[in-house]
Chains A and B, each alone.
Chain A
């Protein structure tokens, strides 16, 4: 398809470089208009101009100034805006951490899910839900166990000296399964009327219960992490060539990788503690972005943030509008993500194949 486009469109599509550059800017411009459009969608449909007016009012005056009923204003600002902001932040989070993990582990098959971070964080959060039930503890335990899981994956895989690409993936899946089993144990002992449903629904992933109160912490961690990963975007290129080359090119790979792992784990844990376990975003989006803008992390990092936000926004919109009853988010990311990944892997030109 791209080849046909190349032949037909002169100028901007003429070379791979120009095409990637054009797509890069297009992708960056995508999230905000799309967010405004999707806020209007739902059981109570709101025209886009009313959405824009409500958002402008909310940002400037803090109350409804239009002739429209307060209902639209309240739905936009109290219900849909927090949810959509959360979806976009979580999507961007998971996608960009996937990119970072793939870069530093030099392995296009990993993401925070496959490295066990999500399962570890899920276990931590489930433990907190079972015992403590305050949102701060959920976040802390999610972070601690997420970090334990990724370190376990990484250092265990280093014990095997063959096929590093494969071993890290395998060990990550094992560590993930280990924590998933521990989570099952928690579910087994949980109160079937109260804690068990809470843990189960939460594990499936969903943004139904997101309120305005969840946003500040999520936004702070997400933006902090994204700014850091954006800052090291050039270094991700060099790190992806291996430790020895990074050293020869004047970096300190051990320290830099540790910083990136801690940052990415914190971001994943934050995403998990708000939205539950949402798979596939971190694996699908980096591959999709690489197909569109190329493997250079200078473009890849911002693109995965934008595409991740768009992807989860669309998935969340589907999950709340497609069927009369709401479908858990984690279900749709798999149903949409897996076929998408298969297509991308078929189309993509990669070094490791």
Chain B
């Protein structure tokens, strides 16, 4: 299958001589949810900005449906590629609907304002993320999770082929994380591809169709989750011991391996060990009290 979005040998440096991305190449097929994992400062956000066209790459190119995005005017590019930023507090207290409405900007004519159809699309997007009840509430009064959902609704209202989400679940409780990512997966089946940067390998395990692992500006692994989310890859990428817990042949959880204060590995709890120890201590505690 031809990739929808393709990045070829992208390099980027904020200050000359200190590149944050080295020869990054990446392909996003249609109907996929691509997870971008990596340590803090590994270049995930920069890569997302370059993929979205907000930041021109130092070298290399990004193409959507085979066309280099630097050849599109800004609004045509924004009709194909959307960037959902990390949540922040805007200066003015716009309502949820007004924030989502901004997603219609690339579809408006020069000096145009949104019309009835734009409002319909916006209300549908708000409905999709489950915020209909908060539509006329001020964005600044919302919780972190609700703000993130608002920004995702804005991305949906933008009606792009690819949506790039920068840490979309960072501020969400488990229920909201699940809600957002299930919504994302459902939308991916309706022909929107997602690229999601995240610090949560477990959610990649659950929701990703493809996982890209970065380390210090380079891609160190790229492939289906069952191939990429393994102990050697993750331990190397995060430079710490990481356990992948399997249930049968399926990986179910990814956990950091605890080390105690002396730097020694903590004693693993043996579920088949003698139960007397626990009972004894319980009995002793009762006797003491």
Contacts and interface: CB of A to CB of B under 8 A. Distances in A.
A214 to B, nearest CB: 30
A251 B158 CA distance: 13
Contact residues of B: prevailing secondary structure: mixed
Interface string B46-90: 000100111000000000000000000011111100110100111
A352 B94 CA distance: 12
B93 A248 contact: no
A241 B105 contact: no
Contact of B92 (A16, A244, A295): A295
A184 to B, nearest CB: 34
A165 B91 CA distance: 10
A240 B136 contact: no
B54 A248 contact: yes
Interface stretch (A67-75, A227-235, A328-336): A227-235
B140 interface: yes
B93 A106 contact: no
Interface in A89-133: 103, 106-108
Given A107-B91, A238-B105, A249-B158, A244 B85 contact: yes
B103 interface: yes
A172 interface: no
A181 interface: no
Contacts of B175: none
Contact residues of A: prevailing secondary structure: loop
Contact of B90 (A248, A290, A351): A351
Contact of A234 (B74, B91, B114): B114
A250 B75 contact: yes
Nearest to A351: B140
B90 A251 contact: no
A200 interface: no
Nearest to B98: A296
A48 interface: no
B40 interface: no
A298 B115 CA distance: 12
A184 B49 CA distance: 49
Q: Which of A242, A249, A250 has the most CB of B within 10 A?
A: A250
A209 interface: no
A249 B93 contact: no
A167 to B, nearest CB: 15
Interface in A286-301: 290, 294-296, 298
A249 B78 contact: yes
A350 B93 contact: yes
Nearest to B74: A250
Instruction: Report the contact-size class of chain A (Cβ under 8 Å from the partner).
Output: 35 or more
B102 A237 contact: yes
A65 interface: no
B78 A238 contact: no
A142 to B, nearest CB: 28
Contact of B82 (A234, A248, A251, A298): A248
Contact of A295 (B77, B85, B88, B94): B94
A66 interface: no
A245 interface: yes
A295 B79 CA distance: 26
Contacts of B98: 237, 295-296
B138 A240 contact: no
Given A234-B105, A351-B140, A251 B74 contact: yes
Given A237-B98, A250-B78, A352 B105 contact: no
Contact of B54 (A15, A103, A244, A294): A244
Nearest to A108: B91
B102 A232 contact: no
Given A295-B93, A351-B90, A234 B83 contact: no
Given A108-B91, A249-B105, A351-B90, 13 more contacts: A106-B91, A234-B108, A235-B105, A241-B90, A244-B49, A247-B54, A248-B54, A249-B102, A249-B103, A251-B105, A295-B98, A350-B93, A352-B89
25 contacts: A17-B95, A234-B108, A234-B112, A237-B94, A237-B102, A241-B90, A244-B54, A245-B83, A248-B53, A248-B78, A248-B82, A249-B102, A249-B103, A250-B78, A250-B79, A251-B105, A290-B92, A294-B95, A295-B92, A296-B95, A349-B93, A350-B92, A350-B140, A351-B89, A351-B91
Q: Give the 9 A-B residue pairs with the shortest CB-CB distance, closest first.
A: A250-B78, A250-B106, A250-B75, A295-B92, A248-B83, A351-B140, A231-B111, A249-B105, A247-B54
